[in-house]
Structure 1
Amino acid sequence: MAANYSLDDLRYFCGIVKLGSFKKASESLNMSLSTLSRRIRLLEKNLQLTLLNRDAHRVTLTHTGELYYERYRKLFEEVDCIEQELSEEVDQPKGKIRISAPIYMGKHFLSSIFCDFLQQYPEIQLDLRFSNDLIDVEKQGIDIAFRVRDPAIDNWVIRELKLTKNVLCGHPSQAYHCITHPEQLEDQPKVTCVGLVPWKLKNQITSEEFQFQPSHQIRLQVDEIQMMKDAVESGIGISYMPDYIALPLIDSGKLTRILPDWQSETQPFSMLYRDRKQIPYRVRLLIEYTLQHFSKVNNV
């Protein structure tokens, strides 16, 4: 049978017992004394029980009232604790933030940001999920997701952080000057990375597009960019590599650019978060911290 009384009335009842009088409870609840008395009478009527003994000087519990008070006092104390914790989430820099990011790009661009952020906010914890798979962010309870290329998630805000592209490169000891078109890559030893095939290329001068599917002379196939980079640096083969990894190595002479007029279309590295006004304060802090960092980097 459904209860026909209000939990609010039970809370008022516990407040009266805790403070020892109707008057003090009415002041604490910002409620008139007559309204509070009426609500308690209605509660007792609906329960068909007497919870309080009233006289001119004090309020005491009946035996049944003691049972109700002990049971509901604990409930409302727990509710008050939960409400306090939730209130702190709104305006206090504390608590856990769950984050999803692609493995190498996440490590390359985000590690220093996260470490600096944690130093600044010692009561915030980060739970990082590095994966190249598109995980179910709702099921995993993710607060912020970082993604490459096609990042859309229904009802999530997308903030573009950086544009990247992929270039062809190899070891300087090898002779690549004879390669004048991507179709000539077929007989070259290659290092490929899962997620970076096919090699989608566009000539920046002629706008010609060419999609190369490595299928021959693949010396090494990996699912992790760091290993791909190490293999190319060792001279194992040529590869199609993100520019943020390749260009510093090319500038330092550790790698050489192959077909410099050809590269992939630019692709965004983006941050995504739920489209809600009531985002916890800690999450908003990390969002703003990340945006400020990339704004400075991109303007350098």
Structure 2
Amino acid sequence: MKTPYSLDDLRLFWVVAHQGSLTAAAAQLAMPVSTLSRRLARLEQQLGLRLLHRNAHRLSLTDTGSRYLARCDPLFAELNTISGELDDERQLPRGPIRVAAPINLAQAWLGPALGRFLLRYPHIQVDLTLSNSNIDLSDQGVDLAIRVGEPQIAEWIARPLGQIPMGLFARHDSPAVASLQAPEQLGTVPLVVGKPVTRWRLWQPETGERLEYRPGENVRLAVDDLATVAQVVAAGLGVGLVSRSLMAPWLASGEVVPVMAPWQGQPRPCYLLYRDRAPQLLRLRLLVEYLLGEALPSL
């Protein structure tokens, strides 16, 4: 319902009542006394009530004005407090940020990066949700998310963080090491699938040739955690498409080797996502800028 008067004019009345004079109130409000007087007169006309007694030397509240002041005092005091807190927020970053990210990426990179960020900004709190599933960001109230793969979310800004190199690996004594020569032979060997990557996008870096392979009935294990894929590949269960960093310990020891060269997994892009809205909260803007400046490791 539309009010018959301006709430801003009512706020002017509140300031005048607390200052006790038009001159002092006008100075606080940074407006001419004549303008302030005119707007107070307009408020009284719209209300059909007299709020102030005025003469050349004195300003005082009428009984009606006193009742109005008593009712609107808590409202404008609270609004002033909120305004002050918002001003503080613009100057001093504080408050919560809800973040969502994949588990392995958080362990390898995001967790330490967030720790350093929070040490720099002691009044910011982060609520971090880890999941290898693409949760509904809006439904969960997420402010910022890390996603691997091409994001398809309307009204969210996607900023690239880097790429994750992928490779096909098997235990060094696996029959697949010698037998696997071309993508069409993938159906003849046991496979291990990380369910975030159910379609294997392969390529030859030298020639640029690309193809997509869908693992089928020869999948021995499908799991929604790539670290687990790396572990069972190292145990000899089958061939897996995994990031090179997850396989690094076993590659260094020689327990695991790349297979089917020169084919590799296509690098998977990693993105930082946040809502497209203005103005952006200072604390969120600082976190976005910080993470974009943190080098994504060669995962």
State the TM-score, normalizing by the size of structure 2. 0.87
Q: CA deviation at 1:152?
A: 4.5
Which residue of 2 is the match for residue 235 of structure 1?
Answer: 236
Aligned to 1:127: 127
Q: How far apart, CA to CA, are the structure 2 residues paired with 1:218 and 1:154?
A: 34
Which residue identity is paired with 1:263?
A: Q
Any idea what SS the aligned residue of 2:279 has? coil
Q: How far apart are residue 70 of structure 1 and its match? A: 1.9
Alpha carbons 2:158, 2:272 under 8 Å: kept: yes
Which residue is 1:115 aligned to? 115
Instruction: Please say which of residues 271-280 and 165-174 is displaced more in the overlay.
Output: 271-280
Q: Secondary structure at the match of 1:11?
A: helix
Q: Partners of 1:170 and 1:236 in 2: how far apart?
A: 8
Within 1, Cα distance between the matches of 2:127 and 2:12? 40
- Provide the rounded CA distance (Å) in 2 between the counterparts of 1:262 and 1:190: 16
User: RMSD of aligned C-alpha atoms?
Assistant: 2.5
1:131 counterpart letter in structure 2: S
1:183 aligns with 2:173: no
SS at match of 1:80: helix
Deviations 1:88-124, CA, capped at 9 Å, x for gaps: 3333221222223233224322111111101111101
Query: 1:210 and 1:12, CA in 2 relative to 1: closer, same or farther beyond 3 A?
Result: closer
* Partner deviation per Cα, 1:33-70 (whole Å, 9 max, x = no partner): 22222222221121111222335554333332222112
Contact 2:53 2:61 (C-alpha < 8 Å) held by counterparts: yes
Q: Which stretch shows the higher mean deviation, 250-259 or 12-21? A: 250-259
Partner secondary structure for residue 294 of structure 2? helix
User: For this pair of structures, how many residues does the alignment match?
Assistant: 297
User: Is contact 2:133-2:196 (8 Å) kept?
Assistant: no
Q: Is the 8 A contact 1:90 1:278 kept in 2?
A: no
Structure-1 residue corresponding to 2:287 = 286
SS at match of 2:202: strand
What is residue 42 of structure 2 aligned with on the other side?
A: 42
- For 2:228 and 2:56, the matched residues in 1 are separated by 83
* 2:217 aligned partner: 216
Distance in 1 separating the partners of 2:21 and 2:102: 60
Helix, strand or coil at the partner of 1:228: helix
Percentage of matched positions with identical amino acids? 37
SS at match of 2:232: helix
Of the structure 1 ranges 281-290 and 149-158, higher mean CA displacement relative to structure 2 is found in 149-158
**Structure 1 residues 159-201: Cα deviation after superposition (integer angstroms, max 9, x where no partner):** 2211123211122343422322233332323221212122222
Q: TM-score, normalised by structure 1?
A: 0.87
Q: Which runs of 5 or more residues in structure 1 are unaligned?
A: none
Distance in 2, matches of 1:198 and 1:5, equals: 63
- Whether the 8 Å contact between 1:193 and 1:225 is mirrored in structure 2 is yes
* 1:226-283 Cα deviation digits (max 9, x unpaired): 2222222332222111223224531343422222311122231121334456322222
Equivalence for 2:267? 266
Contact 1:93 1:281 in 2 (8 A): yes
